[in-house]
Structure 1
């Protein structure tokens, strides 16, 4: 399974809130939080083929451009799936992840899985839970992170194999 992951500037390891104006970019490797996920993926003969990153302020000022570019890059690179997050309890990142994930899934053949914590994100989860698969995860520093990552990867695999995800989604997603 070839995965592209979308992270904000913080999770990509490019700086904190002061770098929220980081322009959309990408690298053909696992950056920041994606490194942990890539290690888990490699145990399942899968890998992160690229990390897309964008500052949340840059995204807010350029939503349509960012959504369009990410959709086109996914279509060009042909991953098996786009993973948006883990967003933890960062509300600006959760909003960006869900909006971009929905745009990609609506405008391409590429399936999407989001990973979002409920804390600080109830409104965005309510808005997107019926439009996008959002795996439940803990807030930053919360317990159960490795389990939620495993569930996120398991859902990615099920979607790539075009398996019925109904029961899984009812149990592990919002």
Structure 2
């Protein structure tokens, strides 16, 4: 299974919270949380083939253009699934993850889902009925490895067209 991840400036490791205007970019190797996911990816016979990223400021400054470029890149690379997050409790990144996930699901034939913590209640409430949002801890709390493993499980369940009830326990 081929996976693409989408990160902000912080999770990509390309910037800090102050580097919001990081341009859209990508790497064809695992970066950020996808490095920590590797043992769980092996369990589901999956590999991260690309990590796309941009600053939250870049995204919110021109959502339409950045969203279209992300969707075009995903359609071109055509992975089996796209993982947006984990966004933890970062509000702007959670909003970006939800919007990009929805855009990918509506504009490409590649499924996508987001991951964020319960602290993003407004985003979760707005999007939980239209996209899958996998639970993760807030930054610094325990349970990250468990959340990353759950993201991999959900990816496998979606790609293999399992009944949605099979992964409801992992999602909001």
State the TM-score, normalizing by the size of structure 1: 0.95
2:171 corresponds to which residue?
A: 173
Alpha-carbon separation, structure 1, partners of 2:83 and 2:154? 10
CA-CA distance at 1:66 after TM superposition: 1.0
- Which deviates more from structure 2 when the two are superposed, residues 26-35 or residues 52-61? 26-35
**Root-mean-square deviation (Å):** 1.1
Structure-2 residue corresponding to 1:57: 57
User: After alignment, is 149-158 or 35-44 more displaced?
Assistant: 35-44
Q: CA deviation at 1:166?
A: 2.0
TM-score, normalised via structure 2 length? 0.96
The 2-side partners of 1:34 and 1:53 are apart by: 12
| Aligned twin of 1:129 | 128
Find the aligned partners of 1:165 and 1:154 in 2 and give their Cα distance. Answer: 12
Paired residues in the alignment total 172
**Contact 2:10–2:16 under 8 Å retained in 1:** yes
* Deviates most, 62-71 or 39-48: 39-48
Aligned to 2:161: 162
**Gaps spanning 5+ residues in structure 2: where?**
none
| Structure 1 residue runs of 4 or more that deviate by more than 4 Å after TM superposition | none
